[in-house]
């Protein structure tokens, strides 16, 4: 007795393919942008360094100078199956991409595995903004990163530092970004750093887009008026 072959509905097969879950973007290298040296320590422009320091402390990852990578570097595990690398380029902001390129070439990482953390004057103090891609937005460190990676398609976390005009109508941009946060802003930034750590941890577990949906609308406010 013969048996008929089961028929395959190609339309249904195509639907299954089209509705498959998109690939999660999971960072493997987290880079904080900034300038080396005590002159720039704790300035607005160096908030990327502070986020990496906060991650290293939270995850108990030691950071040390690595000449091969032209930066302060460390690696460890956040979860049992997640190896993460942290980098603070020591090339000065305008050449940040050199250090990032050195790391991804050594470990053969794709650009989308790099999460870059940096300051953004277009966001007020207390705001964070995750994106999976985008332009440099006038940021020299990001211009260098995009140039060396050869693409804009890599995730980034922008940390709001406010504009110079928010501080004083006559304040210039350079003195603003290379200046330090005020006392009240420093308190808010401590909470921002905690939120940044939480957002990045979520991106490691559930992808950058999930973290975007939960953290991009968060705002740390000044509670002195309450």
Active site residue 139: no
* Candidate from 9-23, 48-62, 136-150 with smallest mean pLDDT: 9-23
User: Which of 163, 174, 179, 135 is CA-nearest to residue 44?
Assistant: 179
Task: Specify the range with the lowest mean pLDDT, choosing from 126-135, 150-159, 161-170.
Answer: 161-170
Residue 16, pLDDT > 60, answer no
Confidence (pLDDT) at 164 = 81
Q: Evaluate whether 206 touches 24 at the Cβ level (below 8 Å).
A: yes
Residue-wise pLDDT tens digits, 80-113: 777 999 999 999 999 999 999 999 999 999 999 9
pLDDT at 3 over 90: no
Pick from 174, 35, 16: nearest CA to 94: 35
| Residues in contact with 28: Cβ distance below 8 Å, sequence separation at least 6, in sequence order | 83, 84, 85, 107, 109, 113, 114
> d(Cα 70, Cα 72) in Å, to the nearest integer?
7
**Domains defined along the chain, listed by start:** 24-221 (3.40.50.1470)
| Mean pLDDT estimate for the chain | 90
For residue 22, is pLDDT > 90? no
From the list 45, 139, 148, 176, the catalytic residue is: 45
Q: Where are the alpha helices (DSSP H) in the chain?
A: 10-18, 47-59, 96-107, 140-149, 164-167, 173-177, 183-206, 208-215
pLDDT reported for residue 79: 75
- pLDDT of 180 strictly over 90: yes
Tell whether the model's pLDDT for residue 45 goes beyond 60: yes
């Amino acid at each position: 007795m013969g048996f008929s072959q089961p028929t395959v509905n190609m339309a249904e097969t195509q639907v299954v393919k089209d509705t498959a879950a998109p690939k999660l973007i999971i960072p493997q290298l987290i880079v904080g942008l900034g300038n080396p040296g005590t002159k720039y320590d704790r300035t607005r422009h160096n908030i990327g360094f502070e986020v990496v320091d906060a991650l290293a402390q939270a995850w108990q990852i030691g950071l040390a100078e690595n000449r091969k990578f032209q930066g302060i570097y460390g690696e460890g595990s956040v979860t049992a199956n997640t190896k993460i690398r942290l980098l603070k380029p020591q090339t000065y902001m305008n050449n940040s991409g050199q250090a990032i390129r050195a790391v991804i070439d050594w470990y053969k990482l794709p650009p989308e595995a790099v999460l870059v953390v940096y300051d953004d004057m277009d966001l007020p103090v207390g705001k964070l903004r995750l994106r999976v891609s985008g332009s440099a937005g006038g940021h020299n460190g990001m211009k260098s990163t995009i140039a060396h990676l050869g693409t804009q398609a890599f995730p980034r976390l922008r940390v709001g530092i406010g504009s110079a005009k928010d501080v004083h109508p006559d304040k210039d941009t350079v003195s603003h970004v290379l200046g330090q946060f005020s006392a009240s802003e420093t308190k808010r930034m401590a909470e921002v750093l905690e939120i940044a750590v939480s957002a990045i941890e979520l991106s490691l577990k559930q992808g950058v887009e999930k973290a975007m949906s939960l953290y991009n609308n968060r705002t740390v406010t000044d509670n002195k008026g309450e």
